[in-house]
């Protein structure tokens, strides 16, 4: 079976690319051979991955040099965490590799404006490559707030489809990261987060 190649991209920092790539990769690794690729030349995720492997809970993490390497035939899922830069060569390489690009956005007006250029870059890419799937993913949503609902409507105006599932704002994403773990290794505390990451997996595998 071909490798499904997913990239998390938004030139805006702090919207959840690394957090979501990390946790999604752990969920996918339960289904098949998965590689998490840290496309940021700073390589912080690659270090985090090595540290997590020492703790015995790791998944395979590669650095940006792997962007131009041949993928092993046995690889089922590739998850790429893009650097927060539109024009970085690593971003361009990552987007060229991807079958599916997810753009995390926070449901706040400032964040949406800051994401506009990234959305436009993807729309341009899709003009040249119509098979490229791209969608916005609302992260850190707070379900019951009217503000969040208004922001969700605003996300819909950016120009790309919005995934029907949201990722909630949950302390366990932060605490898992501090422990070098994913939400899958957090027991009961991670259950709600695991459930939404599983929903995300079902969405991207459609
Ligand atoms: N769903 C979430 N709930 C709570 N905290 C989150 C969530 N997603 C991300 N964070 C936190 O927000 C910060 C920025 O996330 P990060 O994944 O580093 O963004 P990016 O890679 O886009 O710069 C981190 O401190 C991370 O722990
Ligand atoms: Mg990051």
pLDDT tens string 155-189: 888 899 999 899 999 999 999 998 889 999 999 99
Report strand pairing: 100-105 vs 77-81: unpaired
- Strands, E assignment, the chain: 4-8, 34-38, 61-62, 77-81, 100-105, 133-138
Q: Residue 17's pLDDT is what?
A: 97
Longest dimension (CA), the chain: 47
Most confident of 63-67, 158-162, 192-196: 192-196
> Judging by DSSP bridges, how do beta strands 4-8 and 34-38 pair with one another?
unpaired
The mean pLDDT of the chain is: 92
Q: Is the CB of 18 under 6 A from ligand 1?
A: yes
**Candidate of 12, 14, 48 to mutate for ligand 1, largest count of ligand atoms within 8 Å of Cβ:** 14
Q: Which two tokens stand for residue 115?
A: 């994401």
pLDDT given at position 125: 96
pLDDT of residue 106: 92
Q: Is the CB of 137 under 6 A from ligand 1?
A: no
Closest C-alpha to ligand 1, atom 25: 174
Least confident of 61-65, 146-150, 151-155: 146-150
Residue 49's pLDDT band (cuts 50, 70, 90) = confident
What's the fold here for domain 4-204? Rossmann fold (3.40.50)
CA distance 188 to 143: 21
* φ, ψ for residue 79, nearest 5 deg: -115, 120
Residue 145 has pLDDT above 70, yes or no: no
107-138 pLDDT, tens digit each: 888 888 899 999 999 999 999 999 999 999 99
Atom of ligand 1 nearest to the CA of 13: 23
Q: Is the pLDDT of residue 101 over 90?
A: yes
C-beta of 141 in contact with ligand 1 (< 6 A): no
Q: Count Cα neighbours of 175 within 13 Å in the Cβ-side half-sphere.
A: 12
For atom 15 of ligand 1, the residue with the nearest CA is 16
Per-residue pLDDT at 147:
66
Residue predicted with more confidence, 10 or 51: 10
Atom of ligand 1 nearest to the CA of 20: 17
Give me the pLDDT at residue 43, please.
83
What's the pLDDT band for 69 if we cut at 50, 70, 90? very high
Atom in ligand 1 nearest the alpha carbon of residue 104: 22
What whole-number percentage of the chain has pLDDT above 70? 98
For residue 144, is pLDDT > 70?
no
Whose C-alpha lies nearest to ligand 1, atom 8? 16
Poorest-confidence range of 6-10, 58-62, 85-89? 58-62
Alpha helix (H) residue ranges in 66-185: 89-97, 109-128, 146-155, 171-178
85 lines ligand 1 (CB under 6 A): no
Separation of first and last alpha carbons in the chain? 15
Q: CB under 8 Å to 40, separation ≥6 — which residues?
A: 64, 81, 82, 83, 84, 90
Q: Ligand 1 centroid vs 128 CA: distance in angstroms?
A: 31
**Is the pLDDT confidence value at 27 over 80?**
yes
Q: Is the minimum distance from the CB of 17 to ligand 1 under 6 angstroms?
A: yes
Torsion of CA 130, 133, 135, 140, to 10 degrees: -160
Domain ranges of the chain: 4-204
Which atom of ligand 1 is found nearest the CA of 167? 1
Backbone angles phi, psi at 102, to 5 degrees: -110, 130
> Residue 107's pLDDT is what?
86
């Amino acid at each position: 079976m071909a490798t499904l190649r997913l990239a998390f991209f938004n030139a805006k920092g702090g919207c959840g690319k690394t957090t979501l790539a990390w946790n999604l990769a752990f969920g996918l690794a339960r289904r098949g051979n998965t590689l998490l690729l840290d496309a940021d030349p700073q390589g912080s995720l690659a270090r985090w991955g090595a540290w997590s492997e020492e703790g015995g809970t790791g998944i395979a993490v590669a650095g940006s040099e792997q962007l131009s390497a041949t993928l092993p035939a046995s690889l089922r899922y590739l998850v790429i965490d893009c650097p927060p830069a539109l024009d970085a060569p690593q971003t361009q390489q990552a987007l060229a590799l991807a079958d599916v690009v997810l753009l995390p956005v926070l449901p706040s007006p400032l964040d949406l404006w800051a994401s506009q250029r990234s959305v436009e870059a993807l729309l341009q890419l899709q003009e040249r490559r119509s098979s490229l799937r791209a969608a916005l993913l609302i992260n850190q949503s707070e379900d019951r707030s009217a503000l969040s609902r208004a922001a969700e409507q605003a996300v819909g105006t950016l120009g790309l489809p919005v995934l029907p599932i949201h990722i909630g704002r949950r302390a366990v994403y932060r605490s898992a990261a501090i422990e070098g773990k994913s939400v899958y290794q957090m027991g009961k505390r991670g259950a709600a987060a695991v459930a939404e990451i599983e929903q995300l997996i079902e969405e991207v595998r459609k």
